[in-house]
Amino acid sequence: MSDKATLEVNGQKHEFPLITGTENEIAIDIKTLRATTGGVITIDPGYKNTGSCESAITFLDGEKGILRYRGYAIEDLAEKASFLEVAFLLIFGELPDAEELEKFHSDIKAQSLVDDDIRKIIDAFPKSAHPMGVLSSLTSALTAFNPSSVNVDSEEDMYNSVVKILGKFPVLVAWTLRKKHGLPLDYGDNSLGYVENVLKMMFHKPNEEYIQNQIVVDALDKLLILHADHEQNCSTSTVRIVGSSHAGLFASLSAGISALWGPLHGGANQAVLEMLEAIKEDGGDTKKYMAKAKDKEDPFRLMGFGHRVYKNFDPRAKIIKGSADEVLEDLGIEDSILDIAKGLEQEALNDDYFVKRKLYPNVDFYSGIIYRAMGIPTEMFTVMFALGRLPGWIAQWREMRLNKEPIGRPRQLYVGETHRTFVNLKKR
Ligand code: SDX
């Protein structure tokens, strides 16, 4: 097979190298396109056909429904690894041994104090503030209290920044929830595991002993693993492009949180629950909402369905759907919302509009049902997504900086006014 692509523009043929990845994906290297064609560029709204980088972190095959982190299948990691093991794997490229994992966790715990002045920032927010806006602001504020920028060429400096954000972020997540509920803000308990500590920080009451529920701990650990990375999605691309200007790690992560907030992206898990609640309120009339989703005049979309890359079942959705049944049964919760979700899924999987467009349930379709069963408020669902995606964002940011990638600055095709002569105000 040829290792070149040929493009003919205005009768002139130009050749561009083909690059093949380790999973035999092929890319046309167009780094010289504009120079060799006298200014011709490509255009690709939403970057549906455009690769922004070469990456060794996550591989997914949307047609086959495959997802792997550093070569390990998501099914194996979700079943056999812990979230901290997966965070280490994504960021440093290998699964840690017992000693490395122990050190990683203790270094994270050592960094889990947040400057008390950050309370003043969170106190300034109204209780009605959406937790994602609060979290993005507090993450950016970390820069003010940890001003030294990361020297990515120093392994030690990079490692210290990684454990710093992995230690502080869960505190910010918990404070965001506790603030809304009028509970005092504290720093958790370093004698606990990472996920246990997250749950205790979020839910413990100052006048009661907090009792861990192992079902909830295991379910949250699995959910965080399933959300940990997903190659060049909207928020990860945001983290990479902000970091490409050599903005700091915390600032880049804050931008990623804002991108994740959108209902077309991470905000979909909240939108799914709100949609299912609306259908329940409407007497469970799923057919009405299916019709709305197919009506081009109606802006309504079936939230939790469809995906830019998966044109098969999202492997994460399969795992989460299985967990939803287990968690609700183990917790002894009857949730009619789950039945509505399953009914909607069955209808969509047999509906020509969805089948033709290969619209399947994605990671957000069932996750909210489990979060709700854990007692997590709907507005916090996307915050939990951010907690899971944190190691992925860090890994992708680190890779982009270590690869010394140039500042991200796309081109455009100008379609506005051509040159016009200025007319003075008096004559207009
Ligand atoms: C995440 O990128 C990632 O990896 C993201 C993520 C991650 O881990 O980071 O996986 C997490 O963001 C999952 C997606 C969560 N979003 C939602 O569930 C929102 C609902 N889904 C859609 O908005 C949509 O499917 C997107 C945004 C997810 C994908 O949109 P695309 O790839 O731009 O597809 P499209 O909008 O071009 O849709 C193609 C067709 C269109 O119809 P036609 O114009 O061909 O007639 O499918 C239709 C769309 O109208 N369509 C839907 C639909 N999704 C697509 N119609 C009804 N309901 C939907 N959900």
Q: Tens digit of pLDDT for each residue in 191-220?
A: 999 999 999 999 999 999 999 999 999 999
Return the residue whose CA atom lies nearest to atom 44 of ligand 1: 296
Return the residue whose CA atom lies nearest to atom 39 of ligand 1: 357
Q: What pLDDT sits at residue 357?
A: 95
Structure tokens at 66: 């495959």
Tell me: the pLDDT tens digits for 213-251? 999 999 999 999 999 999 999 999 999 999 999 999 999
Q: What pLDDT sits at residue 100?
A: 98
Q: What pLDDT sits at residue 379?
A: 96
Tell me: the pLDDT tens digits for 171-188? 999 999 999 999 999 888
pLDDT bracket for residue 314 (50, 70, 90):
very high
Q: Is the pTM of this model over 0.85?
A: yes
**Residue 219 Cα, ligand 1 centroid: separation in angstroms?**
26
**Residue 287 Cα, ligand 1 centroid: separation in angstroms?**
20
Tell me: the pLDDT tens digits for 368-421? 999 999 999 999 999 999 999 999 999 999 999 999 999 999 999 999 999 999
Q: Using CA atoms in the order 350, 355, 360, 365, what is the torsion angle rounded to 10 degrees? A: -50
Choose one of 311, 357, 360 to mutate for the ligand 1 pocket test, by most ligand atoms within 8 angstroms of C-beta: 357
Sign (positive or negative) of CA dihedral 324, 326, 331, 335? positive
Q: What pLDDT sits at residue 2?
A: 80
Choose one of 260, 273, 275, 301 to mutate for the ligand 1 pocket test, by most ligand atoms within 8 angstroms of C-beta: 301
Phi-psi region of 295 (alpha: psi -120 to 50; beta: other; left: phi over 0): beta
Three-state SS for 154?
coil
Return the residue whose CA atom lies nearest to atom 14 of ligand 1: 265
Return the residue whose CA atom lies nearest to atom 52 of ligand 1: 301
Tell me: the pLDDT tens digits for 19-72? 999 999 999 999 999 999 999 999 999 999 999 999 999 999 999 999 999 999
Residue located via tokens 């492009």: 241
Contact 316, 67 (CB under 8 A): yes
Q: Give the lowest-confidence range in 6-15, 144-153, 225-234, 258-267.
A: 144-153
Q: What pLDDT sits at residue 409?
A: 97
Q: What pLDDT sits at residue 149?
A: 79
Which residues sit with their C-beta closer than 6 Å to ligand 1? 46, 230, 233, 264-266, 268, 293, 301-309, 357, 359, 362-364
Q: What pLDDT sits at residue 147?
A: 85
Cα separation, 169 vs 326, in Å, equals: 29
Full strand arrangement of the beta sheet holding 4-9: 4-9, 12-20, 26-28
Residue located via tokens 């595991």: 193
Helices (H), 233-314: 234-243, 249-261, 268-281, 286-294
Structure tokens at 368: 């909210």
Looking at the DSSP assignment, which residues form a beta bridge with residue 68?
Answer: 59, 73
Show Cβ contacts of residue 384 under 8 Å, excluding neighbours closer than 6 positions.
173, 220, 223, 224, 227, 269, 367, 371, 376
pLDDT bracket for residue 312 (50, 70, 90):
confident
Q: Which residues are catalytic?
A: 307, 364
**Residue 105 Cα, ligand 1 centroid: separation in angstroms?**
37
**Residue 362 Cα, ligand 1 centroid: separation in angstroms?**
9
Return the residue whose CA atom lies nearest to atom 20 of ligand 1: 303
Average pLDDT over residues 250-276: 97
Average pLDDT over residues 312-334: 92
Q: What pLDDT sits at residue 152?
A: 87
Q: Evaluate if residue 263 carries a pLDDT over 90.
A: yes
**Residue 313 Cα, ligand 1 centroid: separation in angstroms?**
13
Q: Evaluate if residue 254 carries a pLDDT over 90.
A: yes
Choose one of 229, 230, 264 to mutate for the ligand 1 pocket test, by most ligand atoms within 8 angstroms of C-beta: 264
**Residue 301 Cα, ligand 1 centroid: separation in angstroms?**
8
Looking at the DSSP assignment, which residues form a beta bridge with residue 7?
Answer: 14
Q: What is the DSSP letter of 146?
A: S
Residue 358 burial class via C-beta count within 10 angstroms: exposed 0-12, middle 13-18, buried 19 and up: middle
Q: How far from 261 is each of 225, 255, 265, 315, CA to CA, in Å?
A: 19, 10, 7, 22
Structure tokens at 360: 């399947």
Q: Indicate the angle between helix axes 381-402 and 268-281, nearest 10 degrees.
A: 160
Contact 87, 391 (CB under 8 A): yes
